[in-house]
Structure 1
């Protein structure tokens, strides 16, 4: 088989949400795929700090902050935080409309106690992989700090949560020219969560940027994901796979649905695709 460039989402795809240990079967699949000459890149909404525990498992590069920060080998090839004026405008709009958020810098995340309380309540009822990731992240204090400790570090993206779409209506209208509201879930209790991502980048543009840097034909790309913030990544790759535990809408958009993460989904998909 011709060598492929493979993009892997993290939470819900490579690891259980909010954890840092891939299943043994996934690590074996990664090892065998690289031995066959394929290259593997993490492509995640996590920032560099949250990705760091995974980088020792044999990846050729990583895309962090949903496309805002790209590294291949030891070379930073894209770095795009929010300009300070734009960031101040976003915070003002979200605060005025009662939307909870977490600020993601390169190596840390900052959140308010109200967001922690909101997550605890939401997860106790039902949660998608992104809510679970954040709730576990906050519980385990993996580089997540109180927002009172924030000292104007550059922000790459934000995670938001809201009690209903109505609180998001005005922010979405005001910020739509500059930001994409990637909504992960809207359930019967009207709990809404997602990522606020600068329209300058997303996981899909990151796929194209890395292909251009490496001189890789996009036809030789494969992407794995589970959440709606993976949509652009799956669309940018020639072949997009959604995990069996993934968002139902994303499953319909993918070219293939593989078994869930907990059922050795990555290993079985790598075998089915002839990567190993």
Structure 2
């Protein structure tokens, strides 16, 4: 069988969102696929610092920060943070419009504490107390620190949270020439979540770059994802697979849907497409 190049999103695909431990079946499937000569890459929106706990498992390389940092077997192929000018403009514009920010850097991420202050002050409303607990767990497991500890390190991506689409109107006008706004609708907690990604990069471009580096046609690539920030990767891959727990709009983009993270979806899809044997 010819070698395939497999790209795995992390949160919601390889692991539950915000967690660092894949199902044992997924770990076994990755190991067996690599033993059969296939290449397996992490392809994530997470920054390098946020994915470090997963590197105890063997991968051929990583695509981090939605494609603006790329490694193959410890060789850095792409390392392009946002320019200082664009970073400053984005940070100020988002703050002026009441949008909570998390900046992702190589060593970890830094987040506006005001969002948690807001949740604490309104903990009696809706699911705010549940969201606060979830945020605190995420920050602890993914090396996320308070914004006051940010010392100006290069930024690869900016996460945003706000309460209405109207808050994003002005930032879009000011920033859309330089950033892709990958924004989800209101979540179960009533907030809008999204990412500002350097327009020069996305997961799909990184997929294309890696296939070219390996000398393997894109038609021999397989991409797994679950959310809208996987869109370009799924559109470009030879075969695109969305997790059953993924967003409905992403399932429409993908060629097929596999079982969820908790139902050993990665293993089932690897077996179905003969990347591994039973």
TM-score (norm 1): 0.92
Residue in structure 2 matched with residue 137 of structure 1 by the alignment: 138
After superposition, where does 1:19-30 map in structure 2 within 5 Å?
19-30=19-30
Higher mean C-alpha displacement, 168-177 vs 178-187: 178-187
Residue in structure 2 matched with residue 101 of structure 1 by the alignment: 101
User: Cα RMSD (Å) of the superposition?
Assistant: 2.3
Spell out, residue by residue over 1:223-254, the C-alpha distance to the aligned partner (whole angstroms, 9 max, x if none): 00011101111111111000000001100110
Spell out, residue by residue over 1:31-57, the C-alpha distance to the aligned partner (whole angstroms, 9 max, x if none): 111111101000001111111111121
Does the 8 Å CA contact 1:71/1:77 hold for their aligned counterparts?
yes
Structure 1 residues 187 and 105: CA distance shift in structure 2, 3 A: closer
Residue in structure 1 matched with residue 192 of structure 2 by the alignment: 192
Structure 1 residues 63 and 195: CA distance shift in structure 2, 3 A: same
Residue in structure 2 matched with residue 206 of structure 1 by the alignment: 206
Residue in structure 1 matched with residue 241 of structure 2 by the alignment: 241
How far apart, CA to CA, are the structure 1 residues paired with 2:189 and 2:138?
Answer: 23
Residue in structure 2 matched with residue 43 of structure 1 by the alignment: 43
Higher mean C-alpha displacement, 255-264 vs 140-149: 140-149
Does the 8 Å CA contact 1:17/1:133 hold for their aligned counterparts?
no
Q: CA deviation at 1:184?
A: 2.5
Tell me whether 1:231 sits opposite 2:231 in the alignment: yes
Does the 8 Å CA contact 1:68/1:78 hold for their aligned counterparts?
yes
**SS of residue in 2 equivalent to 1:10:** coil
Residue in structure 2 matched with residue 264 of structure 1 by the alignment: 264
| Unpaired segments ≥5 residues, structure 1 | none
Structure 1 residues 118 and 78: CA distance shift in structure 2, 3 A: farther
Structure 1 residues 163 and 183: CA distance shift in structure 2, 3 A: same
Residue in structure 1 matched with residue 175 of structure 2 by the alignment: 175
Higher mean C-alpha displacement, 212-221 vs 195-204: 212-221
Residue in structure 1 matched with residue 78 of structure 2 by the alignment: 78
